[in-house]
Structure 1
């Protein structure tokens, strides 16, 4: 019924003829019929307001079913969905809007006034609001639209979404994701993780991120399964859902917090068939502890904003703690040395990937695209890895200083820039350190110009200028930073010195 739109056709096919079947439990619930009818109304509204194929629709709202319907409606309209973390400040949003030049910006009504300066700076043509209950000017306008919108034709190579990522040098990059990249990866995961229409996924992830939006949501839609849709991770809600659910996708923080709860037992998880972890490294002790408590082995996988999912531990077969498994079907993964030659087993090298899952390049950044995406399709991930004799891959570090805290990417340079602007700061270095709950924690090591600098001052300026997940969990004021003979700050030495800070 949506056959002319590559991605939406594939996300809808499994539920055609099942209009009255429940797709979403929670937040009022949705049948498949109601979900797609609402998405059609959003698509019709976008077109009526002048959105044309290829236009960007930027969305900074809290998690809701309406936001998920807007994602599908945007793709139906032939536009490009651009989700933004609701924690971003107006100064952060200003950059994204100016870079992506969206036709429409959808924002929570409680933050509309706060974001006005960002909207004005980017000269965004249209602004609508959407709150966490599905209310706002977007919904008010959409309910006047008739159902039955026929999706705008889009081919496999057309853009479906842009998700912003970044390098450690500061400027955020918009990863352009095609219909093919999203559809092919979801199809692969459905088969590899053995999803069926009988599955019920507990969805407690954010939907501005690859994991919650494209992995969780697209997989469930692709196979016509159901999900329990939670506004956020909540222990009580997770335990209430598990007796009738079958799967959970989460970041390591989910599993460490569940392990800390005495309700986690073999009995409480007996209806579940699969627990998946990603977006940050899962400690081997979390993996083994989970198995001891529940009898289930967590399945860890590896993906990126630019590539969707690349590897996964197998559904059937050994799930090795500390590894991210094997390359997914249709995805090539190689580990190479500094000269681009593949290294042997148990040798560390740079990870490169190739496949239909890989992005089309960085928005408006041809030089950066050429630097990281080879003409032959291989993407240089910036991650360092090693492959064992069985082909299982482990991520051992990052060639970039990216920090992944609680599943969210934190780029040290951005945090350092805020801190270094303080008059009493001489210099700073932001590092990620092992943390039992968040996987990695943001830590700031600061050299003061004078004793007037306090930890409270640093915490205040970061809280005022950065999203919460980027703010430091600990601030250390030191006399000097370690340097090499060329004067470069040695962050590796700092990570070694403070490795047990959260132990």
Structure 2
């Protein structure tokens, strides 16, 4: 597809293409910001703020420590932590020292952790002590030779840090017993390396920056190989898309971005950490986004300009009684991604904040942003937006041919942010890349006359009822508008008569909501074959740590 019809929808000031050569690497991007914004706050966490100059110095020190371990250029270093101050320090250190970052979900089981450490070939890991017991169970079977242990209070100063660590360990009992005798404490590693200096490494655009593992929902978890140029491109693409909103922030006022999504997830990694660095902004680190009172209590202390989140987080916060304690008038960008934003949630968020959710779309394999709605759009459309600058999208059929105009097809993506492939899996890479360089997303979509794309659903989530296609996103979107419904999810289950049937799982907002009312509502708003055969009420929906609903766990 060479005719980029969507360019006419770009707001004024958004370029058709970004300058991919602006930075040779993420390291160059970071170091420019460290110098330019030295005196400004870079991160805020539990009342402690670190300046750009401090992050610069600390990451150089920790990078020197890692180099001192004898690791070779390009060796993989894993990071397994929630949103704590050591995370961005470790990331900057790993990249500046010439190593490859492996982001790891801290809630992994020993089996999942072992697979990722073995698959990536990680030689070292930086891990929060809360998850050390998990590492202990599998570390002997992995290539890991060096373990750096962090604690929640490490960077909060002696008095507050000691108190936080005491509460986490002894009151909340969040640190299970573990035995890792060779592990080195983060603060000790920093002290040990303080006399050394980071050896400057020349990083090139095609060097590997990170291995970003996919969720593994369709098989074994695979590492998307993200080059420095992939991530640099996506930061610049996000910057270009957000600028029409960000220019409304008064000149001289530092941009504050909320990081409630986990930094190990590519959405937060790129749109929160790296983009905020590029903008010289302050990132407000939220360690536990599920603690809504604590999240809202923290946000009440700051001006909030940028808030990337997933649908469940927008929904949960907007429905919380403390929501009004935050002054939302400075909010300029509410970036929705990770999973479909439901129209009822988008409407409520806009009513309560005055800032429309700007929904985008992407995957780990695309660094992640592939499309985004223009930030000047206020009406929710259900679309994932248009391709970001320097990006091409097309729809293809099962044979790889372009879909007929107006017909659904699998979304295929081409651009500088698309991964180099799956780590050491050429066979898997070949399955998802077309001969002309497009990445096949596995998502079914349609495109309108202006170039806006809309997700119909994942291929594997489509429900076939008596030969009719039922898309769970559509059913969920309809039911989420029903008064009395807090959250819902729709899955297909085997059925003797129709092949598959629709199962609907609901979390009540109104405790008096009944199955009969749900069925009557569905009958009013959806055609017969889309109606649920089974309606089930639960107190909560199973979700990933990022907030995606785990549909596969609802099929039983």
> Is the TM value for this pair above 0.5?
yes
Determine if contact 1:168/1:400 at 8 Å carries over to the other structure. Answer: no
1:182 corresponds to which residue?
231
Which of 132, 136, 140 is residue 188 of structure 2 equivalent to? 140
Distance (whole Å) between structure 1 residues aligned to residue 151 and residue 491 of structure 2: 33
Shift in alpha-carbon separation, 1:438–1:351, aligned structure 2, 3 A? farther
Further displaced range: 432-441 or 143-152? 432-441
Shift in alpha-carbon separation, 1:126–1:339, aligned structure 2, 3 A? same
1:412 corresponds to which residue?
none
Distance (whole Å) between structure 2 residues aligned to residue 396 and residue 439 of structure 1: 19
Which of 39, 49, 59 is residue 69 of structure 2 equivalent to? 49
1:471 corresponds to which residue?
none
| Residue aligned with 1:111, SS | helix
Displacement, 1:168?
A: 4.5
Shift in alpha-carbon separation, 1:128–1:24, aligned structure 2, 3 A? closer
1:418 corresponds to which residue?
none
Question: Does 2:317 match 1:258?
Answer: yes
Question: Does 2:350 match 1:291?
Answer: yes
Which of 337, 346, 350 is residue 278 of structure 1 equivalent to? 337
Determine if contact 1:278/1:302 at 8 Å carries over to the other structure. Answer: yes
For residues 73-472 of structure 1, the aligned pairs below 5 Å read: 73-134=93-154, 137-146=185-194, 149-166=198-215, 168-194=217-243, 195=246, 198-233=254-289, 234-236=291-293, 237-238=295-296, 240-241=298-299, 244-264=303-323, 268-307=327-366, 308-317=368-377, 319-343=379-403, 346-401=406-461, 434=476
Shift in alpha-carbon separation, 1:482–1:160, aligned structure 2, 3 A? same
Determine if contact 2:227/2:420 at 8 Å carries over to the other structure. Answer: yes
Deviations 1:181-229 (A, max 9, x none): 1011001111210147731111111111011112211100012111222
Determine if contact 2:347/2:380 at 8 Å carries over to the other structure. Answer: no
Deviations 1:67-108 (A, max 9, x none): 121011111111111111111111111111121111112223
Determine if contact 1:313/1:319 at 8 Å carries over to the other structure. Answer: no
Indicate the RMSD between aligned Cα atoms, in angstroms: 3.1
Shift in alpha-carbon separation, 1:484–1:499, aligned structure 2, 3 A? closer
| Residue aligned with 1:115, SS | helix
1:14 corresponds to which residue?
33
Distance (whole Å) between structure 1 residues aligned to residue 500 and residue 256 of structure 2: 43
Shift in alpha-carbon separation, 1:441–1:207, aligned structure 2, 3 A? farther
Distance (whole Å) between structure 2 residues aligned to residue 264 and residue 113 of structure 1: 36
Shift in alpha-carbon separation, 1:304–1:67, aligned structure 2, 3 A? same
Shift in alpha-carbon separation, 1:15–1:168, aligned structure 2, 3 A? closer
| Residue aligned with 2:192, SS | coil
Distance (whole Å) between structure 2 residues aligned to residue 42 and residue 442 of structure 1: 47
Shift in alpha-carbon separation, 1:267–1:111, aligned structure 2, 3 A? closer
Distance (whole Å) between structure 1 residues aligned to residue 84 and residue 129 of structure 2: 14
Distance (whole Å) between structure 2 residues aligned to residue 4 and residue 351 of structure 1: 29
Determine if contact 1:40/1:148 at 8 Å carries over to the other structure. Answer: yes
| Residue aligned with 2:78, SS | strand
Displacement, 1:318?
A: 5.5
Distance (whole Å) between structure 2 residues aligned to residue 321 and residue 241 of structure 1: 28
Shift in alpha-carbon separation, 1:440–1:218, aligned structure 2, 3 A? farther
Further displaced range: 363-372 or 61-70? 61-70
Distance (whole Å) between structure 2 residues aligned to residue 349 and residue 106 of structure 1: 42
TM-score by length of 1: 0.79
Count of residues in correspondence between the two structures:
435
Distance (whole Å) between structure 2 residues aligned to residue 119 and residue 253 of structure 1: 34
| Residue aligned with 2:423, SS | coil
Displacement, 1:484?
A: 9.8
Shift in alpha-carbon separation, 1:53–1:322, aligned structure 2, 3 A? same
Distance (whole Å) between structure 2 residues aligned to residue 111 and residue 260 of structure 1: 31
Shift in alpha-carbon separation, 1:264–1:51, aligned structure 2, 3 A? same
Determine if contact 2:309/2:336 at 8 Å carries over to the other structure. Answer: yes
| Residue aligned with 2:283, SS | strand
Q: Which runs of 5+ in 2 are unaligned?
A: 1-21, 156-183, 248-252, 463-471, 505-529, 539-556
Determine if contact 1:62/1:131 at 8 Å carries over to the other structure. Answer: no
Further displaced range: 122-131 or 71-80? 122-131
Determine if contact 2:358/2:377 at 8 Å carries over to the other structure. Answer: no
Distance (whole Å) between structure 1 residues aligned to residue 88 and residue 65 of structure 2: 15
2:514 corresponds to which residue?
none
Determine if contact 1:384/1:396 at 8 Å carries over to the other structure. Answer: yes
Determine if contact 1:52/1:77 at 8 Å carries over to the other structure. Answer: no
Distance (whole Å) between structure 2 residues aligned to residue 97 and residue 302 of structure 1: 28
1:424 corresponds to which residue?
none
